[in-house]
Amino acid sequence: MLIIHTVAELREALAPHRAPAFVPTMGNLHQGHISLVQKAKPLGDITVASIFVNRLQFLPHEDFDQYPRTLEADADQLQAAGCDVLFAPSEADLYPEPQAFKVQCDPHLGDVLEGQFRPGFFTGVCTVVMKLFMCVQPRVAVFGKKDYQQLMVIRRMVRQFAMPVEIVAGETARAADGLALSSRNGYLSAPERDEAVQLSLALQRMAERVRAGVRVADAERDAMDFLRARGWVPDYLTMRSRADLQAPQPGDARVVLGAARLGRTRLIDNIEVD
């Protein structure tokens, strides 16, 4: 596996290839990331993963400086998964000057849920993904459903800019007890790790209650109260349309999504309902 740190070297390495398959990450990899690389491998003529902790998508009070940088271990995992190229640029190489040009997300999609609680987050995401796409020139890029709203935002950005990239979704990888795998799970203490699965259980119960005829608003409120009673600080637990993340209309395919803080760690999860 080639490990490349500059845009110029990356373009030289990819020049003979017409259909790269790409998996962008921020590193600190787990099996969920590796499953995306494995999904990408048969979709292109070379498999590229990137590791870049993107300052633009962190709010001032968030964990940019503390976010784990584990490049050597990550490279070992990627090589074992059959990745061909790891692009790990420095901040100075990817942003050689202040990034004054930025990609603004459609507020209808990007200012709800994560965008409401993390203002500017999707501007940072869209800007870095656009820039990575320009560097890699992929034919296919694979994103996980774990970050459901991000997946939808990237799909819409690609469609509206007519970018020649197919966005493929990878299923959420889960631990044996159902906890969605996340780099931030490493922040949890042992008791918090045992408790963390309650987020996905609360989403499952919410979906089951709505299916049984309970009003969506009541199921959402009860799910929030359930987590609060266990010591969580929830931002949202909600059911939305899978088409646009707005309130579901009759006949819509739906998804339940949640974000909540357990101790100092903010976790997110989602479950497609129908």
Point out the residues that are catalytic.
33
Q: Indicate the DSSP class of residue 42.
A: G
CA distance linking residue 160 with residue 156, whole number of Å: 6
CA distance linking residue 40 with residue 23, whole number of Å: 7
Give the burial class of 13: count Cβ atoms within 10 A of its Cβ; 0-12 exposed, 13-18 middle, 19 or more buried: middle
Query: In 3-state terms, what secondary structure has residue 54?
Result: coil
Residue type, 109: L
What is the β-pairing status of strands 140-144 and 20-25?
A: parallel
Instruction: List CB contacts of 234: < 8 A, sequence separation 6 or more.
Output: 224, 227, 228, 258, 259, 260, 261
Angle between helices 198-211 and 216-229 (to 10 degrees): 160
CA distance between the termini of the chain: 40
Q: Indicate the DSSP class of residue 67.
A: S
